[in-house]
Structure 1
Amino acid sequence: MQNTQNKIWNTTLYLRLSRDDGDKEESNSITGQRELLRDYISQRPEFREYAVRVDDGFSGSTFERPSFQKMIEDVKAGRTDCIIVKDLSRFGRNYLDAGEYIEKIFPFLGVRFIAVNDNYDSLGDKKASDDLIIPFKNLINEAYCRDISVKIRSQLEIKRKNGQFLGSFAAFGYLKDEQDKNRLVVDQYAADIVRDIFKWKLEGVSPQDIADALNKLGVLSPMEYKRSLGMKFTTSFKTNAKAAWSAGTVIRILKNPIYTGVLVQGKETTPSYKVHKRITKDESEWTVIADSHEAIISKIDFDSIQKVLKCDTRRSPDGKAVGLFSGMIFCGDCGASMVRKTVPAGEKKYVYYVCSAHKQDKSCSPHRMRDVALEEIVLDSVKQHISEVIDMSELLTITDTAPLRTAQAQKVQRQLDKKHEEYEKLQKLLMSLYENLADGIIDREEYTRLKASFTTRADEAEKQMDALRETLTDIQNHGAENAWMNEFVKRKGLTSLDRAVVVALIDKILIHSNDTVEIIYRWQDEFAWQLDILRTAKLQEVV
């Protein structure tokens, strides 16, 4: 920089404040920075203010800041040739990048750089100590940023493990508690919409038809509903000026466990405080807290929906809903799915279920069954099974359930013992990791990765043990909860089948080549196990 004695510098005042790296002191406020810098140039006639560039709410760990980039564009265009900041930490906290700008880029472009509180001016006499002090201060600023990042991550993780909600916006169906922003409360209006969505899906209505029905009724989509409440909500899923219900929106609601009272957080992270691109974490590293808030949908209905979503959901011929047995019928001989086949006979049409393996490559026998015959068989079987469950439910009310309670407690205790063994094994692995690192068996990177993985698994095992202990206590004090029985009992007097009944009660249907039908019911093993214990107890009473 030559002939600068009488030069007038077109000066840009650069101000930065971060909400994330601890810059909350009053002296670092945007107003405070602006006043300090203007006072500085007001006493020096060689400076002419060209612009004030402000990045409010941006971390110093990256230079991908909008106002900073505009300032660099001004520099390249020759509109400004002097940059003044309060101190080096306002300029940036990335040691390498800050040094690159101060020591190479700005001198090359003829830009004068001043950090007021650090008493640094690139135009002044070069001090021998500057080569050490400036990089050192940049290094300290980066270390500070890294330290703050670690503290914030740790604090957020603690909040997640305590079941505190950390999202910017609550899921559709919930609102943030006005008294506690980290707690979710039910939004009754939106919750009713969520209940309708789950109810329609259980009845066999496709996600697209659910979306169409909601749009026809004029129900605001989740995005538009949040906006109607005055929230500044945006989403990458929006495609039109006004967001409408879509099949994707419906499916996201149907798959979200938050509606059962389960809070799942920590799905994404950033690799480091320097890299802000978000990546998805392994599912084992997610933070999952049960009973975090009031449930809108029962666990049983939610599980039924997840089962349905995995099924083949092809619509029935009239296009109105999913087929009665869609995705639930399989060949009892080869395990392949049974598919619908329509056979015309004169003016009539007959529908059969045929083995897809035979239809495709003749690898299975050509057995088939009429749809009406199958519906009749399934209806009779369901009615019989409902009657059996009701009988067992009534038996529980008049029988000494102590043997059952003991058996249930023993079953949970075995699960608890197994989980405890897993936990102890993980603790031993954690203890041996440092020894392996010290002996050179693994390197530092592998040590860090394995430690994080084992710690996460141990924490999860500990949470599962706590849940099992709580279940064990409930059984010992009150007996086991048989909520699944209600799914059958409440359908007493059933006269016809619909999709909701089939999905709620049946796991799958097997059709064998000898025309026999095998129906696998949900909770079938639990039913058989409890019934066997009760029968044994009755026999012992007789003896």
Structure 2
Amino acid sequence: MQNNTETKVWNATLYLRLSRDDGDKEESNSITGQRELLRDFIRTRPELREYAVRIDDGFTGSNFDRPSFKKMLEDVKAGRTNCIIVKDLSRFGRNYLDAGEYIEKIFPFLGVRFIAVNDNYDSFGGKNASDELVIPFKNLINEAYCRDISVKVRTQLEVKRKSGQYIGAFAVYGYLKDEANKNHLIVDEYAADIVRDIFSWKLEGMSPQDIASRLNHNGVLSPMEYKKSLGMKFATSFKANPQAAWSANAVLRILKNPVYTGILIQGKETTPSYKVRKRVTKPESEWAIVSDAHEAIIERRDFDSVQKALSLDTRRSPGDSAVQLFSGMVFCGECGANMVRKTVPSGNKKYVYYVCAAHKQDKSCSPHRMRDEALEQLVLDTVKQYIRDVVDLDDILAMTDTAPLRTAEVQKVQRQLDKKRSEYERLQKLLMSLYENLADGIIDREEYVKLKQNYAGRCAECEKQMETLQETITQIKEHGGEHREWMAQFREHLNITELERSIVVALIDRILIYKDNRVEVRFRFADEFAWQTDILRRSQIREVV
């Protein structure tokens, strides 16, 4: 570094930077270490006077979107500072092009002296041939280092995601970070009880807005305020008021988050590169999804019921705090349109009935209708009978050894799968040999194209058939005696005397009303019921034989 004998006084800004993601953990690179080094340097240079210290602690060097760096540029433009001093070029920035733009063009144009102490660089000392080569080269090395660290950090985070480790800065509401393992979530019993209440109220038919109102009325702290009460310091991208209250959106975020079932879904978004910070959504196939990553607060079946309830029409009558009993579930058996709930006053009474929306709109369907009281009674009777059927089947299956039959079924389908897999491998070999046959002159190009299309089509068909067979094997195994949790859901309501919204959503898929006033109730898990019934029938036949 060349010494300058001019008497000009330079108002120097000491710029310090430390990044969380570039591996700068050495003491010499700490903020304190950088500050002491630069102040020691100034003491040996009488023409330098400290104007300000600008610190970007926790900001990457891959770009210049840093708050203190921006303030420093404002000082430069205002003429308050005309000298910038850094420990080395990597503290200034690790982006080769942008760093070079500032050092070689912008600062000289603005009359700013730039000093990198450990790199022995001082722009006021005049450039020499070595500077022309060394400075760009060091900037290039710094950028390569930044790129390498970015790749390593991304890889480490991806490994953690796929192994079921939680990498969020803060635990989601209802959980806390395990003090013994910060990448593991443990249940926060107080907040977990609130989460359970939210799901329970939704199953009862309450809207997210009504749930939020109840929580606020009960004085329950919102997730943001609860975090503050625990002493957490955090930033949020959501709109925040001085005293954040529960909102419908906050309730919906909880109701839609599968983390409460013990599942971790991470890696939904990414950045294109270490230089571009704009986040983009990744395809769902690339998400890191791990089941049983932590203790569940909500049972999976209740979570699924809530998702179904959220997807249904949740319109309410004026003055009602909950959705109607059959809201979004009643359809015309003739045309498939919604059956619209209508209220008709008659004297001092009001009559409620369902009418086909297609008929109401353009008369394209018959004018059949049904009173709500009659429909509710019919559905109740049907539900009670179906519950008894499910419970009876469950009891019989518990006393029947269907394992041998299921094992035989699995073996049978497995043989079919093995045969299909062999066929697929044979077709793949034929497909691979086509090019050699073409090159050897055994077939011409027209035959090659035709055969390739034929083999490729047969391979694709084989893949579909193998997938179907594998699903069949999984279905046989999962529908065994040890996988009848859905039956317990029906058993819970064995002694019901009236319908509730939570029961309707949990057990019923849809309700159809036909023009002859016939009502068809289609239940959830109908395929499972049919499968278990068939298993039982074949087991009994096997015993007789």
Give the corresponding residue for 2:512: 510
Q: Distance in 2 between matches of 1:292 and 1:375?
A: 41
Which residues of 2 match residues 47-446 of structure 1 at below 5 A? 47-403=48-404, 405-406=406-407, 409=410
Quick one: structure 1 residues 317 and 374, their matched pair in 2 at CA, closer, same or farther if it must change by over 3 Å?
farther
Q: Distance in 1 between matches of 2:254 and 2:483?
A: 28
* Range with greater deviation from structure 2 (327-336 or 280-289): 280-289
Q: Secondary structure at the match of 2:503?
A: helix
Q: Distance in 2 between matches of 1:283 and 1:277?
A: 19
Give the corresponding residue for 2:461: none
Is contact 1:353-1:371 (8 Å) kept?
A: yes
Is contact 2:410-2:473 (8 Å) kept?
A: no
Give the corresponding residue for 1:535: 537
Is contact 1:221-1:245 (8 Å) kept?
A: yes
Q: Distance in 2 between matches of 1:300 and 1:326?
A: 20
Q: Distance in 2 between matches of 1:37 and 1:241?
A: 40
Alpha-carbon shift at residue 411 of structure 1 (Å)? 10
Alpha-carbon shift at residue 109 of structure 1 (Å)? 0.8
* Range with greater deviation from structure 2 (378-387 or 129-138): 129-138
Q: Distance in 2 between matches of 1:408 and 1:342?
A: 54
Alpha-carbon shift at residue 42 of structure 1 (Å)? 0.8
Quick one: structure 1 residues 303 and 416, their matched pair in 2 at CA, closer, same or farther if it must change by over 3 Å?
farther
Q: Distance in 1 between matches of 2:265 and 2:343?
A: 45
Give the corresponding residue for 1:489: 491
Count of aligned pairs between the two proteins: 502
User: Structure 1 counterpart of 2:523, which letter?
Assistant: Y
Alpha-carbon shift at residue 223 of structure 1 (Å)? 1.0
Alpha-carbon shift at residue 525 of structure 1 (Å)? 1.0
Alpha-carbon shift at residue 504 of structure 1 (Å)? 0.8
Q: Distance in 2 between matches of 1:314 and 1:412?
A: 47
Q: Write the deviation string for residues 145-201 of structure 1: whole angstroms up to 9, x where unpaired.
A: 011001100000000001000011111111111110000011111111111111111
* Range with greater deviation from structure 2 (24-33 or 259-268): 24-33
Q: CA RMSD in A?
A: 2.9
Q: Secondary structure at the match of 2:246?
A: coil
Q: Distance in 1 between matches of 2:421 and 2:28?
A: 53
Q: Distance in 2 between matches of 1:469 and 1:531?
A: 16
In structure 2, the gaps of 5 or more residues are 433-466
* Range with greater deviation from structure 2 (269-278 or 232-241): 232-241
User: Structure 1 counterpart of 2:496, which letter?
Assistant: L
Q: Distance in 2 between matches of 1:278 and 1:172?
A: 24
User: Structure 2 counterpart of 1:353, which letter?
Assistant: Y
Percent identity reads 72
Query: Are residues 1:523 and 2:525 paired?
Result: yes
Alpha-carbon shift at residue 414 of structure 1 (Å)? 9.9
Is contact 1:405-1:479 (8 Å) kept?
A: no
Alpha-carbon shift at residue 57 of structure 1 (Å)? 1.2
* Range with greater deviation from structure 2 (366-375 or 4-13): 4-13
Q: Write the deviation string for residues 339-383 of structure 1: whole angstroms up to 9, x where unpaired.
A: 101122222221111111111122222111111111111011001
Q: Secondary structure at the match of 1:183?
A: strand
Normalising by structure 1, we get a TM-score of: 0.87
Alpha-carbon shift at residue 404 of structure 1 (Å)? 5.3
Q: Write the deviation string for residues 490-513 of structure 1: whole angstroms up to 9, x where unpaired.
A: 111221111111111101111112
Q: Distance in 1 between matches of 2:11 and 2:24?
A: 28
Q: Distance in 1 between matches of 2:13 and 2:47?
A: 13
Q: Distance in 2 between matches of 1:330 and 1:48?
A: 81
Give the corresponding residue for 1:441: none
Quick one: structure 1 residues 406 and 317, their matched pair in 2 at CA, closer, same or farther if it must change by over 3 Å?
farther
Alpha-carbon shift at residue 480 of structure 1 (Å)? 3.5
* Range with greater deviation from structure 2 (74-83 or 280-289): 280-289
Quick one: structure 1 residues 141 and 44, their matched pair in 2 at CA, closer, same or farther if it must change by over 3 Å?
same
Quick one: structure 1 residues 53 and 234, their matched pair in 2 at CA, closer, same or farther if it must change by over 3 Å?
closer
Q: Secondary structure at the match of 2:314?
A: coil
Q: Distance in 1 between matches of 2:135 and 2:239?
A: 47
User: Structure 2 counterpart of 1:487, which letter?
Assistant: Q
Which residues of 2 match residues 22-33 of structure 1 at below 5 A? 22-33=23-34
Quick one: structure 1 residues 204 and 139, their matched pair in 2 at CA, closer, same or farther if it must change by over 3 Å?
same
Quick one: structure 1 residues 509 and 469, their matched pair in 2 at CA, closer, same or farther if it must change by over 3 Å?
closer
Alpha-carbon shift at residue 43 of structure 1 (Å)? 1.2
Q: Distance in 2 between matches of 1:248 and 1:289?
A: 26
Q: Write the deviation string for residues 369-411 of structure 1: whole angstroms up to 9, x where unpaired.
A: 1111111110110011011011101111222222553377469
Q: Distance in 2 between matches of 1:389 and 1:484?
A: 10
